[in-house]
Amino acid sequence: MKGKGPKIFASRYWWLLLLLILFGINYLASVFHARIDLTKEKRYTLNQATRNLLKNMEDDVQIDVFLKGNFPSKFRKLTNAVSEFLQLMKESNSSKLNYTFISPDDEIPGVQGKKYADTLAAMGAYPINLKAQVKTGESSSLAYPYAVITYKGKQQLVTLFSVPPISGSGTEIPEKIINSAEALLEFQFASALDKLNQSKKPGIAYSIGNGEPMDERTYDLVNSVEQDYEFRTLDINRQPRIPSGVDVLLIVKPSKQFTENEKLKIDQFVMNGGKLLCFIDNLIAEQDSLAFKPETIAFDRNLNMTDLLFRYGIRINTDLVMDLRCDLIPIIVGGNIDNPQMQFLKWNYYPILSPQGEMNKNIGYVVSHFANSIDTIQVNGVKKQPLLVSSPNSRTISTPALISLNENKNLPEDEKFRQNAIPVAMLLEGKFTSLYKNRISGSQVDTLSSIGMNYKENSSETKIIIVADGDIVLNDFVPDPNNNGQPIPIPMGWNKYTYTEYMKQSDMAKLFIQVANRDFVKSCLEYLVNNPAISETRNKDIVLRLLDYQKVKDQKTTWQLINIGLPILLVLLFGWIYQELRKRKYAT
């Protein structure tokens, strides 16, 4: 037996055996794949919740990624990262998961003249304009950073990249933004798969009866919510209680005062573990008022919600947030009645807010209209986290306040804009105390008892998000050039004036900012109702380890010598040592 090995390799057919061994090793490697993740942030390791989700998939999962094309180098890095991540997912369930990269300009098989880009637009997926510096100047290309997951006949859109803050019509994308998008890939795909795998969608109730908008301005909001949730309207004044099937009560820009009976229903909904998402205008201040005259007065709306929110740990102030980082409006700066001279000027009452916190990671800026500031109150057992804040160049003005279009004809006094990070949205988490503790009347107790409810003084663990601006979730309209100028809705928060210039590709197209109001609303809802284990994947972070360009420039020659000259010297040194050893060995 001892001599068989050498005999085999000494025979003329030893190379056949070697080929068989290599073939066997390659086959085993293809079947049994293993990877050791040595990265500090576990970049190539899936969260346990994601792995469980993939293993429990009962049917085939098809993922179509629309990132096929000639993109700038930085954006190709994202494409490669998506490909690597999908391969990582496929390894968890290779028999059920398949993915394909498709160009949005390709025609859909079996549908004459219809491209994938048309279908994406119908799903609310808008392209972004990528710019890159080339030798001849600047190149521009459109990209659809989206994927569509198909599972059990249902489809879910996945956003792979949010437009960077203040990107205008497509400035070059910083590497940090691409890096953040890579870090969020697991959350985006896991969240989409979790929604497709749910047998029952979470219930979202849109509160009506207190002057909340019900017209076409809510088109984008309703369309965005209906994709992932069981959406309904709910008149809390007429309903005896908020139904148990409602997971989140959505209150948007109420204009009429809340009664004590309505507040009791909201309060007991929270006490029983319900979640609140409120977009509230505490002041009467509307841009429409300035269409008829150049001035308007902002004053308290008196919604009778102050005591309820105060008990939960928050107060919406009766002031206005002004910011030097703001959106634009068209202002007549000259000319005559027949030929007015229009110019886009900054409107400090439309602050562009910075998202904060892990739940808003990789979300672009959010534009607001006549927003109010928020103060927090110390409440035991309740944690608070700002979600939207102003820039370092902001201020607040108390009300009643005069708002005039003439303010824009003169540059604002910068020295007044010295406040930083004024909170406009706040997340509250914990156990809340009822507003009616030690003060509930007998008739209120009887009313609750008549509908089978017991009054609760304290809640279980729950969450509340308060945003001090109702316009954040409302959309505007632009004329459709392909349909005789009929108005069509645009995503919430988008500026209809600058977007019109963007569609025309005029010289002022660069003024358009693709704000992320819709992404912010979706992020709020996901955080309130989604699987906490899936939400944890949002916290994944990939450290961007960039070279210090100044050091590279200063120490270029040194490192060139180390990288090129040192290996040659080491080879020569080892060769000399080897020859010396040979001389000594065979000298005798």
User: Taking 80 as the threshold, does the pLDDT of residue 78 lie above it?
Assistant: yes
38 burial (CB, 10 Å; 0-12 / 13-18 / 19+) is exposed
Is 421 a domain residue?
yes
Same domain, 185 and 236: no
Percent of the chain's residues with pLDDT above 90? 38
pLDDT at position 382 is 94
Same domain, 264 and 388: yes
Do 494 and 307 form a contact (C-beta atoms < 8 A)? no
In the structure, what pLDDT confidence band is assigned to residue 555 with cuts at 50, 70 and 90?
confident
- Exposure of 345 in the CB half-sphere (CA atoms within 13 A): 17
pLDDT at position 353 is 95
Is 28 a domain residue?
no
Q: Which of the residue ranges 73-82, 227-236, 301-310 would you say has the lowest mean pLDDT?
A: 73-82
Residue 360 CB coordination number (10 Å)? 24
pLDDT at position 6 is 60
Smallest CA-to-CA distance from 186 within 442, 533, 537 is with 537
- For the chain, give percent helix, strand, coil, nearest 5: 35, 25, 40
Strand ranges inside 77-134, DSSP E: 97-101, 128-134
Is 337 a domain residue?
no
Q: Which of the residue ranges 21-25, 229-233, 489-493 would you say has the lowest mean pLDDT?
A: 21-25
In the structure, what pLDDT confidence band is assigned to residue 248 with cuts at 50, 70 and 90?
very high
Tokens found for residue 55: 């293993």
In the structure, what pLDDT confidence band is assigned to residue 253 with cuts at 50, 70 and 90?
very high
pLDDT at position 277 is 96
- φ and ψ at residue 331, rounded to 5 degrees: -125, 135
Greatest extent of the chain over all pairs of C-alpha atoms, in Å: 115
More confident residue, 360 or 280: 280
Same domain, 316 and 461: yes
Mean pLDDT of 459-476: 95
Same domain, 167 and 214: no
Is 508 a domain residue?
no
Most confident residue range from 17-21, 114-118, 303-307, 550-554: 303-307
586 burial (CB, 10 Å; 0-12 / 13-18 / 19+) is exposed
The string of pLDDT tens digits covering residues 134-168 is: 444 455 677 888 999 999 888 888 888 865 444 44
CA angle 524-271-532, nearest 5°? 40
Mean pLDDT of 386-397: 94
Same domain, 366 and 384: yes
In the structure, what pLDDT confidence band is assigned to residue 473 with cuts at 50, 70 and 90?
very high
Is 228 a domain residue?
yes
How confident is the prediction for the chain on average, in pLDDT?
85
Give dist(CA 288, CA 307) in Å, integer: 30
The secondary structure of residue 56, as a DSSP letter, is T
Give the CATH number of the domain where residue 83 resides: 3.40.30
pLDDT at position 133 is 42
Strand ranges inside 229-355, DSSP E: 230-235, 248-252, 275-279, 283-284, 295-300, 314-316, 319-323, 326-335, 340-355
Is 13 a domain residue?
no
Same domain, 419 and 360: yes
**Containing structural domain, residue 86:** 47-194
Residue 224 CB coordination number (10 Å)? 22
Give dist(CA 408, CA 117) in Å, integer: 40
Is 32 a domain residue?
no
Same domain, 423 and 296: yes
Beta bridge partners of 296: 403
pLDDT at position 170 is 45
Characterize 370-383 residue by residue with b for buried, 16 or more Cβ atoms within 10 angstroms of its Cβ, and e for exposed. Answer: bbbbbeeeebeebe
Same domain, 56 and 183: yes
Give dist(CA 355, CA 364) in Å, integer: 7
Same domain, 277 and 356: yes
Mean pLDDT of 41-64: 83
The string of pLDDT tens digits covering residues 309-349 is: 999 999 999 999 999 999 998 887 776 777 777 788 889 99
pLDDT at position 371 is 95
More confident residue, 584 or 425: 425
Give dist(CA 332, CA 558) in Å, integer: 61
User: Taking 80 as the threshold, does the pLDDT of residue 588 lie above it?
Assistant: no
Give dist(CA 192, CA 183) in Å, integer: 16
Is 458 a domain residue?
yes
Do 385 and 357 form a contact (C-beta atoms < 8 A)? yes
Count: domains in the chain:
3
Give the CATH number of the domain where residue 311 resides: 3.40.50
Same domain, 190 and 252: no
User: Taking 90 as the threshold, does the pLDDT of residue 534 lie above it?
Assistant: no
Give dist(CA 553, CA 542) in Å, integer: 26
Do 185 and 193 form a contact (C-beta atoms < 8 A)? no
Give dist(CA 463, CA 167) in Å, integer: 32
pLDDT at position 135 is 45
Element (H, E) at 384: strand 382-389
Tokens found for residue 531: 């699987």
Give dist(CA 58, CA 96) in Å, integer: 8
pLDDT at position 174 is 63
Mean pLDDT of 110-115: 79
Same domain, 316 and 432: yes
Same domain, 186 and 232: no
User: Taking 90 as the threshold, does the pLDDT of residue 252 lie above it?
Assistant: yes
